[in-house]
Structure 1
C-alpha cells in the first residue's frame, strides 16, 4: 500500500497533535501537581478530538480515526490525573 503525499502530511500532523500532551502527562504523573493545568481547556479539547473521531468514521478515514482516537485516550489520561491530583 502506497500513501499519497496528502496522507503522509495528515499522518504526520495527527502524530504531532497526538503526542503533544505526553510531556504534560509525564510532568503531572511525576510531580502530582496539576494546579496550573486548565480542566476546561482539556474538556473542550477532548470534545473536539472526539468529534474528529466521529468525522473520521463518517468519512471512513482511518488516519483521522486512529490519531484522534489515541489523542482522545491520552487527553483522557490527563483529565484523570487532573481530577486525581487536584488540590482540595
Structure 2
C-alpha cells in the first residue's frame, strides 16, 4: 500500500507548526521574552515568509498552510520580543537622565 506523499507533507506541516504553540503560550502567559534571540526571530520570520511565498508560487497547499500558521505564531513571539526590547531601551535611557 503506497502512502500519498501529500499526507506526509500535511503530517510534517502539522508537527512543525504545532511545535510553536507551547512557546507562544509560555511567552503570552509569562510575558517574558528575555531568553529569546531578537536577531534569530527576525531572520526566522523573514525565512518563513519566504517559504510562504515559495509555497504560493509552486502551489503546494501543505507548505502554504504550515508556513502561514508558523509565520503568525513566530510573528507573535517577535512582536512581543520587540515590545520588550523597546520598553527596556526606553527605561534604560530614562534611568540615565
Q: Report TM bin, short chain.
A: 0.7 to 0.9
How far, CA to CA, are the matches of 1:61 and 1:23 in structure 2? 26
Query: Which segments of structure 1 move beyond 6 Å, counting only runs of 4 or more?
Result: none
TM value normalised by structure 2: 0.78
Shift of 1:31: 1.1
Higher relative contact order (CA 8 A, sep 6+): 1
How far, CA to CA, are the matches of 1:82 and 1:16 in structure 2? 24
Shift of 1:62: 1.3
Shift of 1:20: 1.4
Q: 1:64 aligned to 2:58?
A: no
TM value normalised by structure 1: 0.85
Q: Write the mapping of 1:1-88 to structure 2, written as runs, cut at 5 A.
A: 5-86=4-85, 88=88
- The structure number with the bigger radius of gyration is 2
Shift of 1:78: 0.8
What's the secondary structure of 2:33's corresponding residue?
Answer: coil
What is the root-mean-square deviation of aligned Cα atoms in Å?
1.4
How far, CA to CA, are the matches of 1:19 and 1:39 in structure 2? 21
